[in-house]
Homo-oligomer: A and B are copies of this chain.
Amino acid sequence: MAHTLAGRAETPTQSRILRLVRDEGPMSRVDLADRLAVSRTTVAAEVSRLVDLGLAEDAGPAASRGGRRSTMVDLDGRLRFVGIDVRATSVHVAVTDGRLTVLSRTSQPSDVRRGPELVLADALALTRKLLAEDGVERPAGVGIGLPGPVDFHAGVPVSPPIMPGWDGYPVRDALSRELGSPVLIDNDVNVMALGEQHNGVARGARDFLFVKIGTGIGCGIVVDGQLYRGADGCAGDIGHIGVAPSGPVCACGRVGCLEATFGGAALARDAAAAARDGRSEVLAARLAAEGGLRAEDVGEAVAQGDATARRLVVDGGRRVGSVLASLTSFFNPDLIVIGGGLSALGHPLLAEIRSVVYRQSLPLATGNLPVVLSELRDDAGVVGAARLISDAVYDAP
């Protein structure tokens, strides 16, 4: 049963109906009228239009509150969004329903350095496969997160340090043409923050930070419930804050950036050095067996009680914690979420970050400040990407 392309909300009242039903579930027309403080006639007319647009549907009679029976309104059950999460070395795709519940997901290795044509071809192939399995011809919208700076309004990456060939590539327009659906792109940490806000630990948070520690390090900033992108759209680029004046050279060309001292790439480098220097038998054994080390190997060495591996993680946590302590004094967030691949290092990392943030920031700013791991984990990016485009579809222009 192919589903034709859904339209977009046309009026503020339609937007408010869609958001209420998305965030709180099916609702009776009577309750919608109460919640939105508009007449039942208005609700009836707007819902009818939303049904025509393929965005909402009737969902049976509501429980009686006395008087005439009301009808439940739900999002159209055939509504589908696609979230694409392009990472440094893999592409992840999910198809969601209108409420952004993940219905199916898939991923494959894909090195972002191969350039936009090949990586987007991978993303398209995965997307088409999932849509075909679901019997969907065209999704209502597609969101995509990229691991580098993005000019959100132009829909293109901007001088991404780890993504040669992507600078200025028309990602949004190219995907939109291929899929026939509206597309929005943003950087990976922004979409992860949106995902965590939609359905994770940041639900209800107002001014929060989502810190991704993956191959690189970045931060999504939410102000008053909305993504904050900064004057040039590159806010949150904390991976290049200087933390070690005599530290390693960073991919950006400067010395001692946070992500040159910690993050997946730095941790793999330091683990290999420790293995070769004879500081860790566990890491040396893994290096000999596998021919190389990844950040995951360090996590497993920690789990095996390796003191050197643990030291590497704690040192990294201290660096990240120190930057977050400064940002806490500056931004006074109500929540800090730690996500990205390295958050799988779990407690040793989180405990050190927390300890440094609490010790180095003013008590007033940390008295009610939870520092927690992402709940959505691997899904934060795809759910957030779907959320990004669903907001655009559900919002009246």
Contacts and interface: CB of A to CB of B under 8 A. Distances in A.
Interface of A: 149, 158-159, 206-207, 219, 221, 223-224, 228-238, 240-242, 252, 254, 322-323, 325-327, 329-334, 360-365, 367-369
A158 B367 CA distance: 13
Contact of A238 (B206, B235, B330): B330
Q: Which are the 4 A-B pairs with shortest beta-carbon distances?
A: A230-B332, A231-B334, A235-B332, A241-B326
Copies of this protein, total: 2
B365 A232 contact: yes
Contact of A326 (B158, B326, B361): B326
A237 B330 contact: yes
A333 B229 CA distance: 10
A165 to B, nearest CB: 18
A332 B364 contact: no
A237 B323 contact: no
A364 B234 contact: yes
A52 to B, nearest CB: 30
B332 A252 contact: no
Contacts of A233: 332
Contacts of A230: 207, 331-333, 365
A360 B326 contact: no
A248 B330 CA distance: 21
B228 A223 contact: yes
Nearest to A322: B242
Given A329-B240, A364-B159, A231 B207 contact: yes
Contacts of A228: 207, 223
B367 A242 contact: no
5 contacts: A223-B223, A232-B368, A240-B362, A326-B326, A327-B330
B332 A242 contact: no
A182 to B, nearest CB: 24
A228 to B, nearest CB: 6
Given A237-B332, A241-B326, A242-B325, A231 B362 contact: no
B326 A231 contact: no
Nearest to A359: B254
B330 A364 contact: no
